[in-house]
Structure 1
Amino acid sequence: MRLTSLTMLAAACALSCVSAASAGTKIVVHVRNYDVAGKTGAELVEAMDRQGPKHGYMTRAIAETGYTVHWDFDIGRQDGICHLRQANGTLDLTYTFPRLSPASPGPRKRWDRFMAGVRKHEHTHGRIAKAMMRATETALAGLERPDNWFCTGTHFEARRRINAIYAEYEAKQNAFDAREHRNGGHVEHLVDALVGKP
């Protein structure tokens, strides 16, 4: 139920360049929907299998959390030392959810319970992504080092720290999905309840 795509754009300003963005992390959230219809839970599952967001080449997901990250750096140099004076990050989160077309009251009740679980799952991915941004802010704070006029090594070190945090939090995203999607796991229970299995 997750397809997380993260693109890091580490843009750096050297010497007198100052970021126009305000300090800290910005979170931008988008919600997309795709419509499904069916008279039974099984028909709704089939509709999601046909129309859900692509997950790999051959399969589709029920829902999806996608995000991109952009960092703007204000790096200054004084007395041969490059200082990361400001790191402004933007996390752009996009949730994609199925949306039920008008249906009979029976499937609607089960659908509402199903969607509560789906939203909880995807919003957990969002919380992990937000925690990644906070961890990155902490990792970048106070970065300084002797460097050349272009602060090349400082830029490299900032990117290295971002990549290390990204790898750590992608592992957390994958571990969460592994727990949720295992046989007998939360996702299987959600689908079984929608279909009406005991």
Structure 2
Amino acid sequence: MRRTSLAILAAAGVLFCGAASAGTKLTVHVRTYDVVGKTGAELIEAMDSLGPRHGHATRAIAETGYAVHWELDVKRDNGICRLRQADGTIDLTYTFPRRTSPSNSALSTRWERFMAGVRQHEHTHGRIAKQMMRATDTALSGLERPDNWFCTGLRWDARRRIDTIYAEYEAKQNAFDAREHRDGGHVEHLVNALMGKN
């Protein structure tokens, strides 16, 4: 599951420094919530009760949340507005379960395999989000156009490009989740393996 947000900030430039040179920054946070259980079924039940909220009535096993912010530095010179700098920041937060109860070696082995699969799933969401930032960075590079004193048109162009790429990559996130969560898919396999059904 993912939780996302997107913000675009605009800053007027005071100096002209040539073509836009966009860049992105990444911060990563990892959160955990504790689960206890003597069996795989009890651990699944604990995750269903304590995991990150997924809608109003259900919870997820784990979650990748990200907040995206773009700060646009725009300069007008001789009637041409140029995007001098586009600084993107993505804050990624992974939330995972943490088993705190002792267990036999068989359950411990199943738990480690389960968590390896859960981490792989969530880190794939993170990779897609980072790809989105790189694509946006490329799309904004060199953006310029004749415009008014406030560079209104250029700002709208930048916003449209950001929104378009954001929507494209959210569709990729949703398609990945649909594959992983389908009947007989990767997530079902992980849950069944933890419960000893495979």
CA contact under 8 A between 1:28 and 1:91: conserved in structure 2? yes
Point out where structure 2 has 5 or more consecutive residues left out of the alignment.
Answer: none
CA contact (8 A) 1:14 1:151 kept: no
Divergent runs of 4+, >4 A: none
Partner of 2:12: 14
CA shift, 1:17, in A, is 7.2
Q: Secondary structure at the match of 1:148?
A: coil
Q: What is the TM-score normalised by the length of structure 2?
A: 0.94
Q: How does 1:30-41 map to 2 (within 5 A)?
A: 30-41=29-40
Amino acid across the alignment from 2:97: P
- The answer as to whether partners of 2:48 and 2:59 remain within 8 angstroms in 1 is yes
Q: Give the secondary structure class of the aligned counterpart of 2:114.
A: helix
C-alpha deviation, 1:23, in angstroms: 5.6
- Distance change (3 Å), C-alpha of 1:80 and 1:10: same
Q: Which amino acid aligns with 1:41?
A: G
Instruction: Among all aligned residue pairs of Structure 1 and Structure 2, give the percentage whose two residues are the same amino acid.
Output: 70
Encode CA deviations 1:25-54: one digit per residue, 9 max, x unaligned.
101000000000000000000000000000
Give the gaps of 5 or more residues in structure 1: none
Deviations 1:143-172 (A, max 9, x none): 101111111111111110000000000000
Measured in 1, the distance between the counterparts of 2:148 and 2:165 equals: 26
**Counterparts of residues 1-198 of structure 1 (less than 5 Å):** 2-5=1-4, 7-16=5-14, 24-104=23-103, 105-198=105-198
State the AA in 2 paired with 1:178: A
C-alpha distance in structure 1 between counterparts of 2:64 and 2:76, whole Å? 39
Aligned-partner Cα distance in 2 for 1:64–1:168: 20
Q: Secondary structure at the match of 2:3?
A: coil
Q: CA RMSD in A?
A: 1.4
1:117 is matched by which residue type in structure 2? G
Report how far residue 102 of structure 1 moved.
Answer: 3.0
SS at match of 1:4: strand
Letter paired with 2:2: L
Shift, 1:74, TM fit = 1.2
* Equivalent residue letter for 2:63: E
Mapped contact 1:17–1:74 kept (Cα < 8 A): no
CA contact (8 A) 1:23 1:86 kept: yes
Deviation for aligned residue 1:64 = 0.1
